[in-house]
């Protein structure tokens, strides 16, 4: 995934090719925008690699600049390939010590980030000690310097959580909350931080209880990024053991959106989620055997409260509004 701002190397090659063709044809960005049917700002974003054109847009682009048929067909193939990128961790770590700055760039270009995690607490919610221990367990070991830099950069990423014009929605499976990368005190502090962050107006944190009836099969976690204008499209990133996978085709993104909404239907939010976390903290610290005993913390059954269009449970009032209309 080469390039400071793009999803992947293929995207950057596509951007360079499209820019080169326009320059050779002597067509201005405004003229091309009119021919393709997009804004001039999107033309600029496509050429810089921060926006991904669709196949029809690339086809119109090549026709507008008079590119040979063979060139057009090659660029269409490159566009299709760029909509799904895979980069191994081994290759990526040879290019840079960690990925936090790249992730921060993507988050800052998105007005909505939806993060589902099934096995570990999302990085944006991690405490410093929890994050350090997570990085230390990485299959391809970090050097001491890179590990420290990665932790510091992850904490810098978290500053975006306090920007009120950005929205972050999290779904965390109970198993991820129970996974313990260190002593009980580390996990207890981590759970307490999640509870605290859940009170921010621009953050929604849902917990999927282990005893909730399954209506979806989350094989892995994923992160969905939605841009803040037409020049930044929606795409999904999935981290596997050996590589990072990016899906940007609309039909692929729709699959993840469907799974998100299904899991939202069985998740608990707000006061109920915080009560769940408080009981789990007590259990982790050894003060209680069963988190459901005492305090009235019950996480099974139907939602208590109104739901939004995505199935999330929110309390009455203006704090949470209906999620933004999707572009796909």
Query: Would you state the structure tokens that stand for residue 34, as one six-digit string?
Result: 């009119």
pLDDT at 80 (0 to 100): 74
Beta strands in the chain (DSSP E): 84-88, 110-117, 167-173, 203-208, 222-227, 235-239, 243-247
Block means of pLDDT (10 residues each) for the chain, 328 residues, are 48 90 93 90 84 82 92 85 67 59 74 94 96 86 80 91 94 97 96 98 97 92 79 77 79 93 97 97 75 42 37 36 30
Query: Would you state the structure tokens that stand for residue 321, as one six-digit string?
Result: 């509004």
pLDDT at 193 (0 to 100): 98
pLDDT at 298 (0 to 100): 40
Q: Quick check: helix, strand or coil at residue 178?
A: helix
pTM: predicted TM-score of the whole model, two decimal places = 0.67
Spell 46-68 as b/e; 16+ CB within 10 A means b: bbbbbbbbbeebbbbbbebbebe
Query: Would you state the structure tokens that stand for residue 313, as one six-digit string?
Result: 């449970």
How many whole angstroms separate alpha carbon 127 and alpha carbon 138? Answer: 17
pLDDT at 97 (0 to 100): 53
* Residue with tokens 């063979």, as numbered in its chain: 70
Count of C-beta atoms within a 10 Å radius of residue 204? 26
Instruction: Name the residue among 155, 51, 47, 142 with its Cα closest to residue 101.
Output: 155
pLDDT at 87 (0 to 100): 62
pLDDT at 168 (0 to 100): 96
**What phi and psi, each to the nearest 5 degrees, are found at residue 116?**
-110, 130
């Amino acid at each position: 995934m080469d390039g400071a701002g793009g999803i992947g190397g293929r995207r950057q090659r596509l951007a360079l090719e499209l820019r080169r063709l326009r320059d050779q044809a002597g067509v201005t960005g405004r003229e091309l925008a009119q021919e393709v049917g997009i804004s001039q700002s999107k033309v600029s974003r496509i050429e810089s690699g921060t926006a991904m054109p669709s196949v029809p847009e690339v086809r119109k682009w090549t026709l507008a600049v008079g590119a040979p048929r063979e060139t057009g067909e090659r660029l269409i193939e490159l566009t299709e390939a760029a909509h799904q990128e895979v980069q191994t961790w081994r290759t990526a770590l040879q290019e840079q010590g960690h990925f936090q700055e790249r992730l921060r760039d993507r988050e800052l270009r998105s007005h909505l980030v939806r993060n589902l995690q099934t096995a570990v607490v999302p990085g944006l919610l991690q405490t410093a000690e929890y994050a350090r221990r997570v990085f230390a367990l990485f299959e391809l070991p970090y050097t001491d310097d890179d590990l420290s830099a990665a932790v510091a950069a992850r904490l810098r990423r978290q500053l975006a959580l306090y920007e009120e014009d950005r929205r972050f929605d999290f779904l965390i499976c109970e198993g991820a909350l129970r996974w313990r990368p260190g002593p009980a005190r580390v996990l207890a502090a981590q759970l307490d931080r999640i509870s605290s962050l859940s009170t921010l107006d621009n953050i929604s944190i849902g917990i999927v209880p282990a005893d909730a009836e399954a209506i979806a099969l989350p094989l892995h976690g994923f992160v969905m990024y939605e841009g803040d204008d037409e020049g930044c499209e929606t795409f999904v990133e999935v981290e596997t053991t050996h590589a990072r996978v990016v899906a940007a085709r609309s039909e692929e993104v729709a699959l993840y959106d469907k799974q998100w909404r299904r899991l939202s239907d069985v998740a608990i939010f707000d006061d109920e989620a915080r009560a769940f976390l408080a009981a789990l903290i007590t259990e982790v610290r050894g003060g209680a055997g069963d988190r459901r005993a005492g305090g009235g913390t019950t996480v099974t059954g139907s939602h208590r409260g109104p739901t939004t269009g995505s199935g999330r449970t929110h309390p009455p009032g203006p704090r949470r509004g209906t999620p933004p209309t999707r572009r796909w």
